[in-house]
Chains A and B, each alone.
Chain A
Amino acid sequence: MYTTDLSGKQQADKIAEDPALVAAFEARVANDDFIEPKDWMPEAYRKTLVRQISQHAHSEIVGMLPEGNWITRAPNLRRKAILLAKVQDEGGHGLYLYCAAETLGTSRQQMIEALHSGKAKYSTIFNYPTLTWADIGAIGWLVDGAAIMNQVPLQRTSYGPYARAMVRICKEESFHQRQGYEIMMALCAGTKDQKRMAQDALDRWWWPSLMMFGPPDDNSPNTAQSIRWRIKRETNDELRQKFVDVTVPQAEAIGLKVPDPALSWNDARGHYDFGDIDWDEFYAVVRGEGLVAKERMTARIQAWEDGAWVREAAQAHAMKREAAKLAAE
């Protein structure tokens, strides 16, 4: 799962930084070297990365909820096991990403508090509901498909721990995308009710999936700097186009219709042309107005608060054991 940068234009950094250090850093990045946790880095680079990686981690964790909604209702044992393993993978991704962000000097606790207070964002896609089993197929196929488009370039992102986390994540996402498409294939080869479910899921998830790539390039305030720093490697619109080009033939292959009357192949460009995205909807969802945004945050906060006594107990127990060990020495 991936999230694009959802914050507004970042404040210019006010800290005076040694121009020689900045120049050396810029040269390393331009040379495609990895920046490691103990290396000097500009404060704005650090902040951008913390924001992006933590947002990505939050998306993985919140993203467990819409799919988790169907684990107990999966239609057979094989699908149940696959979905459980997939949602578990998303939790694992969240974990490595929180760890990668922690190398930049922010604790997991701080990041989780920022999520719960609404200060930190997560991908807008998870604020849409999963109504039928076909939504599990559509999420794997489209949402994880979009995630892969976003994440493959991030395996070469300039920050070493993030790039390395992304290598493993990409492998797993590719499996997720295939299992999602396979669910859709089964539905499309099935009964009239199943085909209806599949088409309806595509109808609802198509546009939100295109929105996952973030605002158009002419309205993406942080893209230029992120590309210069090799935090991002391709623009939102480039990635979105790539996604449309790959996904449309996949829909056609199983007899589904992409819900866009303006969609057509453009020979001259060698790409699909597609209709306008409803950016008002996107920004409303970013503001927290997605249909199930309240449910998602309530579930995360409740899990965290209900689990507080468990975390406290684990800590108290570890301290008791530590004290007993010291006393015995």
Chain B
Amino acid sequence: MAKASTLFTYALRLGDDSLIIGQRLSEWCGHAPTIEVDLSLANVALDQIGQATHFLALAGAIEGKGRDADALAFKRDVLDFTNCLLVEQPNGDFAQTIARQFLFSHYQALLFGELAQSKDERFAAIAAKAAKEVAYHANLASDWVVRLGDGTDESRTRMDQGLQWMWRFVDELFVMDEVDAAAQKAGVGVDKAALRAAWDQRIDGVLNDATLARPASRRPALGGRKGHHSEHLGHVLSEMQFLQRAYPGAVW
């Protein structure tokens, strides 16, 4: 049996990843290159907000201190957020957003595929539903990587720059720290390090179709899982949490 505090953190990390990328994607709403793209980004955002709601509610239930998904989303400060650094990166141009989604959705697709087999039915149920959603996100993002990579000179340059921006955050996705190891040992969590080879294969396949080069390996940027974030997350939170902070105790 894993300790409750381990499973709490495990659920929180999953919820925070989905919440922050959902929040980022929702910034696009009304501003995308075409109406069709606008609708598809909103779809992805909605799925991610839904996943966040489930994982954070589960974290709150495991913790047992009366915090629900909203309390966890809106009343924690940056040091207590455990999302990976990738999801908090700014949208940038459309290529940068797609680069982030591409790298992250393939990770989520592999992760949820495994997590759906978790011994803990609560995690397994959320992951099984989410696995279908993120498979679509991964396809959507891959299609755009190919279109932009093998489109015009400008789109190719931008797609390459988007990948360059995001690439330093890839390694963090697959790090197994003591929480991950304990959750995996208990049969609840996933061996994320073991997903890397399959992820590399998926990414390389799409980059090949897109006629893009894989960015060079570099020193990984880490820290998100322990609350040490980039400068961006504080701003994301200050916007997201504004009403709950300005009107403490109000019910909406």
- Residues of chain A having any CB pair with chain B under 8 Å: 61, 64-65, 68, 71-81, 84-85, 87-88, 91-92, 94-95, 98, 133, 183, 186-187, 189-191, 193-194, 299, 302-304, 306-314, 316-317, 320
- Given A133-B243, A314-B151, the answer on whether A85 and B30 have CB atoms closer than 8 Å is no
A75-B244, A313-B148, A317-B148 known, 10 other contacts, Cβ within 8 Å? A71-B27, A72-B27, A75-B74, A77-B53, A85-B46, A91-B35, A186-B252, A307-B33, A313-B154, A313-B155
Evaluate contact between B155 and A133: CB separation under 8 angstroms.
no
Interface of B is mostly: helix
- For residue A81, which residues in chain B have a CB less than 8 angstroms away from its CB? 46, 49-50, 53
B 204-252 contacts with A by CB, 8 A? 239-240, 242-244, 247, 249-252
- For residue A68, which residues in chain B have a CB less than 8 angstroms away from its CB? 29-31
B7 within 8 A of A: no
B131 within 8 A of A: no
Closest residue on chain A to residue B95 by CB atoms? A310
B 26-75 contacts with A by CB, 8 A? 26-27, 29-39, 42-43, 45-46, 49-50, 52-53, 56, 69-70, 73-74
B77 within 8 A of A: no
- For residue A309, which residues in chain B have a CB less than 8 angstroms away from its CB? 152, 154-155, 158
Q: Kindly identify which residue among B30, B36, B70 contacts A64, using a CB–CB cutoff of 8 Å.
A: B30
- For residue B242, which residues in chain A have a CB less than 8 angstroms away from its CB? 73
- Residues of chain B having any CB pair with chain A under 8 Å: 19, 23, 26-27, 29-39, 42-43, 45-46, 49-50, 52-53, 56, 69-70, 73-74, 93-94, 146-148, 150-152, 154-155, 158, 239-240, 242-244, 247, 249-252
The distance from the CB of A252 to the nearest CB of chain B, in whole angstroms, is 22
Closest residue on chain B to residue A194 by CB atoms? B250
Q: Kindly identify which residue among A72, A79, A91 contacts B252, using a CB–CB cutoff of 8 Å.
A: A79
Q: Kindly identify which residue among B39, B93, B239 contacts A91, using a CB–CB cutoff of 8 Å.
A: B39
Expressed in whole angstroms, the Cα–Cα distance for A38 and B31 within the complex equals 34
Q: Kindly identify which residue among A88, A194, A312 contacts B43, using a CB–CB cutoff of 8 Å.
A: A88
22 sampled A-B residue pairs with Cβ under 8 A: A68-B30, A71-B26, A72-B26, A72-B240, A73-B243, A76-B73, A77-B52, A80-B49, A84-B42, A88-B29, A94-B35, A189-B251, A193-B247, A307-B32, A310-B155, A311-B33, A312-B152, A313-B147, A313-B151, A313-B152, A314-B151, A317-B147
The distance from the CB of B83 to the nearest CB of chain A, in whole angstroms, is 15
Closest residue on chain A to residue B70 by CB atoms? A76
- Given A80-B26, A91-B42, A186-B252, the answer on whether A310 and B49 have CB atoms closer than 8 Å is no
Expressed in whole angstroms, the Cα–Cα distance for A85 and B49 within the complex equals 11
Evaluate contact between A88 and B33: CB separation under 8 angstroms.
no
Expressed in whole angstroms, the Cα–Cα distance for A61 and B35 within the complex equals 8
The distance from the CB of B232 to the nearest CB of chain A, in whole angstroms, is 13
Evaluate contact between B29 and A75: CB separation under 8 angstroms.
no
- Given A65-B30, A72-B27, A87-B30, the answer on whether A133 and B39 have CB atoms closer than 8 Å is no
Expressed in whole angstroms, the Cα–Cα distance for A253 and B120 within the complex equals 47
- Given A81-B50, A85-B46, A313-B155, the answer on whether A191 and B250 have CB atoms closer than 8 Å is yes
Expressed in whole angstroms, the Cα–Cα distance for A303 and B250 within the complex equals 35
Expressed in whole angstroms, the Cα–Cα distance for A73 and B240 within the complex equals 5
